[in-house]
């Protein structure tokens, strides 16, 4: 069951400049950064708020590290802007299979590693009214040590 908007992915040419725009304009601060070699992106997660299911909602800023990455190709075709929307779920495997059973193409046979240790998959935009849609199961939150 989808529980929240996990994040909105925004493709950009210059991650540092885009982060600075969101910081200076809206006061959003970087919560997490990483390079995902498999997906060919450098990213920054800007936390917007906490959610009632223990997760959070973010803006995910994505800068391609290679022109042949999915985000690199998308930027070349579309320019900067909203790339995808991601919905949080407790079980990306079950929800992606349920959605596949409804005739929506799921782009990965098995979920892959996403930001901050999450498990993700994508749904084909042609089956989702033109919107690239991601399903995300967040990594377990580690208990703080006392």
pLDDT of residue 140: 80
Residue 12: pLDDT band (50, 70, 90) is very high
Catalogue all structural domains in the chain, each as residue range(s) with its CATH number: 2-137 (3.10.180.10)
> Could you tell me where the beta strands, DSSP code E, fall in 1-146?
2-11, 30-36, 41-50, 56-64, 81-89, 112-113, 119-123, 133-137
Instruction: State the pLDDT at residue 142.
Output: 56
Radius of gyration of the chain (CA): 15
Q: What is the pLDDT of residue 143?
A: 42
Q: Is 142 exposed, middle or buried (0-12, 13-18, 19+ CB in 10 A)?
A: exposed
- Catalytic residue annotation: 7, 43, 60, 84, 134
Q: How far apart are CA 7 and CA 135, in angstroms?
A: 10
Within 10 A of 59 (CB to CB), how many other CB atoms are there?
A: 20
């Amino acid at each position: 069951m989808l529980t929240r908007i996990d994040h909105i992915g925004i493709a950009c040419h210059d991650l540092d400049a885009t982060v600075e725009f969101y910081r200076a304009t809206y006061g959003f601060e970087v919560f997490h950064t990483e390079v995902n070699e498999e997906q060919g992106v450098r990213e920054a997660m800007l936390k917007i708020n906490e959610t009632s299911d223990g997760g959070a909602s973010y803006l995910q800023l994505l800068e391609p590290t290679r022109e042949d990455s999915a985000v690199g190709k998308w930027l070349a075709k579309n320019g900067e802007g909203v790339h995808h929307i991601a919905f949080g779920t407790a079980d990306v495997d079950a929800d992606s299979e349920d959605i596949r059973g409804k005739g929506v193409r799921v782009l990965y046979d098995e979920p892959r590693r996403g930001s901050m240790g999450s498990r993700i998959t994508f749904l084909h935009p042609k089956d989702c009214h033109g919107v690239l849609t991601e399903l995300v199961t967040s990594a377990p939150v580690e208990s703080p040590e006392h």
